[in-house]
Amino acid sequence: MSIEFIYPEFEVIRNENRCISCRACERQCANDAHSYDKKHNIMRCDESKCVNCQRCVSFCPTKALKIVKSDCTLRENANWSTQTIKEIYRQANSGGVLLSSMGNPNPLPVYWDKILINASQVTNPSIDPLREPMETRVFLGKKPSKVQRSKDGKLDCTLPPQLELSMPVMFSAMSYGSISYNAHKSLALAATELGILYNTGEGGLHEDFYCYGENTVVQVASGRFGVHADYLEAGAAIEIKIGQGAKPGIGGHLPGAKIAGDISRTRMIPEGSDAISPAPHHDIYSIEDLRQLVFSLKEATEYKKPVIVKVAAVHNIAAIASGIARSGADIIAIDGFRGGTGAAPTRIRDHVGIPIELALAAVDQRLRDEGIRNHVSLVVGGSIRSAADVVKAIALGADACYVATAALLALGCHLCRTCQSGKCNWGIATQRPELVKRLNPEAGSKRLIHLMTAWKHEIKEFMGGMGINSVEALRGNRLMLRGIGLTEKELEILGISHAGE
Amino acid sequence: MQTIDAANLDYRAINNALRKAETDYIIEGCCGQRFLAAGMSDKNLIINGIPGNALGAYLNNANITVNANAQDAVGDTMNEGKILIHGNIGDAAGYAMRGGKIYVQGSAGYRAGIHMKAYKEKIPVMIIGGCAGSFLGEYQAGGVIIVLGLHKDGRRIVGNFPCTGMHGGKMFLRDSCEDIHFPRQVTARPAAAEELEEIREYLSEYCLDFGYSVNELLSGPFTVITPDSKNPYQQMYAAN
């Protein structure tokens, strides 16, 4: 080999006693890691091509395969980890900016795991959700500051536009282009069935999916791909994407190789041309400019749809959110630094942004202090992994959560973190027809419905345990939370007491 | 032809009136109202006075004539239709425009035609009669931008940093452009006769609208700018 050689990260272990050389693994692997040696009638393997997506493992009929971490190691060094050294080799080999996928995998604190939830004992008894009604519905949008009556004393029930969700969860933005047609269809079908919403991301909306508009958030990002009057009309809400948790402060590039056929038409850019989403919106340099975009969208859709402004969780997020709340936006979405992505520069993904838990607590408190919390709803994402995370987020002050990585896992993703290659063996982050068809939208949507239905049950169990029968009564109810192993400062920002207090 | 007096009306009231109108419309006394005709289709609109920012945003096949200057973000994310300005326009005109035409008699501010797109037969066209400010056609991904430099008053035809990040479409500047600095990833060269034929149709229409002679316009030296690559970021990354 040569100086450029980097030892493969994984080894494919084949149990020769079980392998029947049926070549299923070879057919399943778009990375061509497996091949058939006709002369010897055995399967061979090039582990340098393996990304550990577990597709072959899942589809081997005799369970003959497993993927393990290679034990070929560099000399141990606590300062220079193997990963760091290999990254240097990659850059020395290519001169390229390191590109990774999915959320930040580094061992930084996960505050969700350091927060514990309360339950009723003796007094204020808990509620059994199987016997008693529990309300998980939430309405997102601007809420009036006071009760208004008309001259004849009747209640004025006109409200700004609201989104109704059957549970406090939405599928967050993933563009058509970054994920496949079948992945989008799975999300659209599931959102419709569940009574929640999914999000187009910034790649426009395929014409086949306009029929799911009532359960769709249409996104407007700096590249404005696929944005036109019918698109804005089609959605239940419009989201202005300013930033994304996985890559705050930078834009996106969908490589020209992925801009073909329907993707090109949906984005309205020439085939083969890079789809570049610049880092900033070229017309937004201030809250006043943001207000102009918010109101141009409202004007174009006759004030019938709530406008969401999505930002990444960064330093000073509370002040930023306060500005957004004053821009006329109905909903603020905040994406934490663990949020997933189809591709982001590794260094940005791993080093920019802050945890969503801290951002949410700071924003909710700031908006309350300023008396404008009811002007906006708060939606948070950036690694909401379970019903427990949802409950903790709501108790910290969120109105609802954005979920994407968990939804992709339900669709078959095994978090191999190589979305950028476009060779997703699970048919999700790919545009290759032979791979896309591996994901059946009906089956995929069923798995998403299973997941969300299970979470809904769990949310009800949590609420029942706390003696709370409606999500509305849980929102911002930080008394239901306690920290474990957190510093005074962390507890202060989260606005919670320590366990035992 | 209905007329609406815009004095003392806000943009919401004017747009509501426009939406209800079945016939063509004249807005008199317009004074800075924003978002006029946002997202509208199948209208013919004449504006007397100065419309505010985001005139014809998301315009979906309507015709707008402004008999004065217009402000920022004219035709933002416009889809179809035509906006005719008998004056100057502000910054960020035609941002992410994906179809239709913006014809301006005067000059444009910063960032005109930024991130313009195109798809097959749908080609947006922007013609600026005077000069354009800095960052003209930044990130241009498609479409045609033409600047005529008709009344330059000693200024350069385009400001600093034109075509930065350009990766599609074409730009025509009616000037030899010796004093213009273009970025490395585009090629600027004198336009060939057949390239000028590509834009004759647009220029003829422009001349009809504003009363110029197309042959006279085409006789001037034209520089055409095209991107060297539609994949400017291809070599930038290493999978990790």
Domains and CATH numbers, chain B: 88-227 (2.160.20.60)
pLDDT digits (tens, 9 = 90+) for A346-403: 999 999 999 999 999 999 999 999 999 999 999 999 999 999 999 999 999 999 999 9
pLDDT digits (tens, 9 = 90+) for A108-117: 999 999 999 9
Whole-model pTM: value is 0.96
- What pLDDT is attached to residue B32? 96
Q: For chain A, give me the number of helices (H) and strands (E)? A: 16, 21
Question: Which residues 38-67 on chain B approach chain A with CB closer than 8 angstroms?
Answer: 38-41, 53-54, 57-58, 60
A184 vs A436: CA distance, rounded Å: 11
- What pLDDT is attached to residue A1? 63
Q: Is the pLDDT of residue B153 over 90?
A: no
Write out chain A residues lying below 8 Å of B71, CB-based: none
Write out chain B residues lying below 8 Å of A49, CB-based: none
Are A309 and A317 in contact by the 8 Å Cβ rule? The answer is: no
Q: Is the pLDDT of residue B210 over 80?
A: yes
- What pLDDT is attached to residue A126? 93
pLDDT digits (tens, 9 = 90+) for A95-144: 999 999 999 999 999 999 999 999 999 888 899 999 999 999 999 999 99
Domains and CATH numbers, chain A: 10-96 (3.30.70.20), 167-471 (3.20.20.70)
- What pLDDT is attached to residue B22? 76
Q: Is the pLDDT of residue B235 over 80?
A: no
- What pLDDT is attached to residue A257? 81
Nearest-CA distance A99 → chain B (Å):
5
Are A304 and A249 in contact by the 8 Å Cβ rule? The answer is: no
- What pLDDT is attached to residue B220? 87
Q: Is the pLDDT of residue A328 over 90?
A: yes
Residue of B nearest to A270 (CA): B119
Inter-chain residue contact A273 with B142, CB threshold 8 Å: yes
Q: What interface predicted TM-score (ipTM) does this complex get?
A: 0.95
- What pLDDT is attached to residue A439? 98
Question: Which residues 409-438 on chain A approach chain B with CB closer than 8 angstroms?
Answer: 418, 420-421
Q: Which of A17, A2, A105 is closest to A63 using CA atoms?
A: A17
pLDDT digits (tens, 9 = 90+) for A432-491: 999 999 999 999 999 999 999 999 999 999 999 999 999 999 999 999 999 999 999 999
pLDDT band at B21 (very low <50, low <70, confident <90, very high): confident
Long-range interactions of A157-164: CB distance < 8 A, separation 24+: A160/A303, A160/A306, A160/A330, A161/A237, A161/A303, A161/A304, A161/A305, A161/A306, A161/A330, A162/A306, A163/A139, A163/A197, A163/A236, A163/A237, A163/A306, A163/A331, A164/A137, A164/A138, A164/A139, A164/A195
